[in-house]
Structure 1
C-alpha cells in the first residue's frame, strides 16, 4: 500500500478503527457516546467512505485511550518517513498540517512534523490525560501558549508541557513554521 494514496489511507484508518472497536466489544453507538462523533460518521469512517478531520481523529483516539497514530498503524517493523512525502493530516481550516513520522500502535510515543501556515493560530484538542508534548522548532519562530502563558521559540528551541491542558500555536510571520513534535502518552 502506498502511504501517499489518500483513499488507501482512509480505508486503512477505517479498518484499524473497526478492529480496535471490536477488540473492545464496543458498538458504534458506544463509541459515538464516548467520543462525541456521531454513529453515522463513525460508520462512514470504518467503511472508508469519509476522510475524517484531525479533530475527529483526536476525539476517537482519546475515547479509545490510544495514541492518535494507532489509527494509522500498518504493523511494519521498519518505518521511513521523508518530509513532504506520505500521509498528511490537516486541521479543519488547513492552517495546521501534521505529517506522522512513526505510526506504531504499540508505542506510547508518537513523532510528527507539523507545519503552521503564516499569520495563523492553531488551537488543538486537549490530548489524552497525562500526555506530554515536546516541541522543537525546525524553521521559523512561533509562540506556544500553555495555560495562557506565552513562550516564544526560535529555530532549534524546544519546549515540553502537559498537552492535556489548554495550549495553542501562533505563527505571526509571513513564512511557514516547521515543528518536530513528540507526544508521550501517560495512558
Structure 2
C-alpha cells in the first residue's frame, strides 16, 4: 500500500485493527497465524500496529489463512462507500507493476470487485487464491494477455474472461500503455 497520504495511513491502521480483531476471533496468536499464513510473526505484528506497508501477496496469504475474502481486511461499517478511481486506497504489488483499488465488497455473497492497473510491458503473477474461487476480469482499457493454467487468452477493451483460480493464472501487458481491468472475485468460503 502507498503510505503517502493521511487517508492511506488511516487505512493501514484500520487494516491492522481488523486483522487483530479477526485473529482474536479465531483464537489465534501471532505465532499460530504466522505458521498458517507463511507471513513472519514480526510482519504480522507490524501490520496489526499499522507500522508496515503490506504487499498484495502478503495480504493474500493472510486472507487465505483466515478463510476470509481479501477485502474483509479493509471492512468498514458504512452503508454507502464511494470509491473514485485514483483516490483512496490503492494496493500496489511488488515491483509496482500491478495495483488494485477496491470498488465493492459484498461479505454476504463472498464477492468483491477491484479496479486493477497493469503497467506497460509487465506481468503480474498473483498469489494462490482461496480454493474454488471464480475470477471474472473485464478489460476497461488496453489489451492484455491472461494465461490460465497453460492456455493464453488475448483480451481487448470490454472483453471479459471468467475462470477458476484453483490452477495458476497471470496477466501480461505487452503494450506501451497501462491496462485497466475490473476484476470480480467470487469466493466459495
- TM-score relative to the length of structure 2: 0.95
Q: Which of 33, 51, 54 is equivalent to 1:52?
A: 54
In 2, Cα distance between equivalents of 1:26 and 1:105 = 22
Aligned to 1:119: 121
Q: CA deviation at 1:103?
A: 4.2
Q: CA RMSD of the aligned region, Å?
A: 1.3
Contact 1:4/1:87 (8 A) holds in 2 = no
In 1, Cα distance between equivalents of 2:88 and 2:6 = 4
Aligned to 1:38: 40
Aligned to 1:73: 75
Q: Which of 114, 126, 131 is equivalent to 2:133?
A: 131
Contact 2:105/2:111 (8 A) holds in 1 = no
In 2, Cα distance between equivalents of 1:93 and 1:106 = 33
Q: CA deviation at 1:4?
A: 6.7
Q: Is residue 158 from structure 1 mapped to residue 160 from structure 2 by the alignment?
A: yes
Contact 1:73/1:104 (8 A) holds in 2 = no
Contact 2:112/2:186 (8 A) holds in 1 = yes
- TM-score relative to the length of structure 1: 0.96
Q: Which of 110, 113, 122 is equivalent to 2:112?
A: 110
Contact 2:91/2:100 (8 A) holds in 1 = yes
Partner SS state of residue 174, structure 1:
coil
Q: CA deviation at 1:75?
A: 1.6
In 1, Cα distance between equivalents of 2:127 and 2:164 = 13
Q: Which of 14, 23, 26 is equivalent to 1:24?
A: 26
Partner SS state of residue 128, structure 1:
coil
Unaligned runs of 5+ in 2: none
Partner SS state of residue 152, structure 1:
strand
Q: Which runs of 4+ in 1 moved over 6 A?
A: none
